[in-house]
Amino acid sequence: MYLNQARTKSPPLSKARAILQRTRGRTHGPVTRLMSPSDFGKLLKPFVFLDLFDYEGPPFDGPLHPHSGIATLTYVVQGAVSYIDPDNVGGTLPAGGIEWMQAGRGMWHGGGLHKAGRTRGFQLWIALPPELELGPTISLYQAPEDVLQDGSVRVLLGSYGSASSAIAAPSPINYLAVRLKAGQRWHYEPPTGHTVLWAAVASGVLSAPDELRHGDLAAFEPSGKAVEFEALTDTEFVLGSAFPHEHDLVLGYYSVHTSAEALGDAEAHIASIKKRLVQEGRL
């Protein structure tokens, strides 16, 4: 792995990792869904959902909603978001911060925006393996200064160079946020076994070596090859790589599991939590 300000010769095409598929997703208001289990999630699992959000407007409170069988990682690029965790503790996640929610057997949480202004970022859903999909709920919040980085690479999950995330990933995964200046190049050598690889552009224009623009998601061919990125303008993007998730994706409304039996168990648990929340006046 290296990060180099200078322009260097591109690797031979025979050694480049090709883009297999690309998308601009589906946009609904301020949210663009770049990946879901019915499309790119099948190709890129354990990564199963990816939302790019870009909101500018008045504050709002989002409703409480459940999850099970997955972990979500919310990364704020600009602005700030509010949250209410499964223990009814609220707070604010500023730009550069991370919310990690490992749903396990089931939980409810919520969020919104407390201050007017522009807020940008990504929310990623990761499918949990069978040994964790009915496990306990884990919620963690990292302030911007606690998200370690190596050069222009911030480590949201996993490790890169000298930096590692304090969050225990549910399986071998790297999730990185990268900022490059125009003309800067970055070479990503995935760890052994990380045959799943994708990148999504938050701003700017990138060559990989095909041109990728703001709002593009690219899924690379399954292999162990590296990828060479070049920023054609100042660019922000996120990249995920992982061991493949060798299990079916069995879907509920807010849940992803490996079997119908696991989904049924989790949905019953979510319903029991809902009953308590109604009794407490929170729903």
pLDDT tens, position by position, 167-208: 999 999 999 999 999 999 999 999 999 999 999 999 999 999
In the prediction, which pLDDT does 181 show? 98
Distance in angstroms (rounded) separating the CA atoms of residues 225 and 272: 46
Q: Looking at the DSSP assignment, which residues form a beta bridge with residue 68?
A: 255
Chain center to CA of 76: 11
Please say if the pLDDT value at position 52 is more than 90.
Answer: yes
> DSSP assignment of 82-102, as one string?
EEE-TTS-EEEEETT-EEEEE
- Find where tokens 């050694």 sit: 15
Residue with tokens 């600009």: 78
Query: How many Cα atoms sit within 13 Å of 63 on the Cβ side?
Result: 5
Nearest Cα residue to 199 out of 5, 19, 3? 19
Pair of tokens at residue 12: 């031979």
pTM (predicted TM-score): 0.91
Contact (CB, 8 A) for 104 and 96: no
Tell me what pLDDT residue 141 has: 92
pLDDT at 161 over 70: yes
Say how far apart CA 219 and CA 229 lie, in whole Å.
14
Lowest mean pLDDT among 3-7, 180-184, 268-272: 3-7
| Domain at 2-13+26-279, CATH class | mainly beta
Q: Is the pLDDT of residue 2 over 90?
A: no
How high is the pLDDT of residue 15?
Answer: 63
Please name every residue paired with 176 in a beta bridge, in sequence order, or none if there are none: 155, 239
For residue 181, what are the contacts with CB-CB under 8 A and spacing of at least 6? 5, 231, 234
Residue range 217-225: average pLDDT?
A: 96
Supply 220's token pair: 């690379």
Question: Is residue 277 pLDDT above 50, yes or no?
Answer: yes
With 0-12 / 13-18 / 19 or more C-beta atoms within 10 angstroms meaning exposed / middle / buried, residue 211 is: exposed
What pLDDT was estimated at residue 9?
Answer: 39
| Best-predicted range by mean pLDDT (14-23, 106-115, 255-264) | 255-264
Is the per-residue pLDDT at 5 higher than 50?
Answer: no
| In the block, residue with structure tokens 């190709």 | 43
- Cα separation values, 151 from 13, 127, 146, 180, 241, Å: 27, 29, 15, 10, 19
Percentage, residues of the chain above pLDDT 90: 74
The predicted pLDDT at position 6 comes to 33
Q: Structure tokens of 130?
A: 């069978």
Contact 104, 139 (CB under 8 A): no
Greater confidence (22 vs 116) lies with 22
Lowest mean pLDDT among 92-96, 104-108, 223-227, 245-249: 92-96
More confident residue, 59 or 270: 270
For residue range 10-41, list pLDDT tens digits in order.
444 446 789 999 999 999 988 999 999 999 99
Mean pLDDT within 239-248: 97
**3-class DSSP assignment, residue 26:** strand
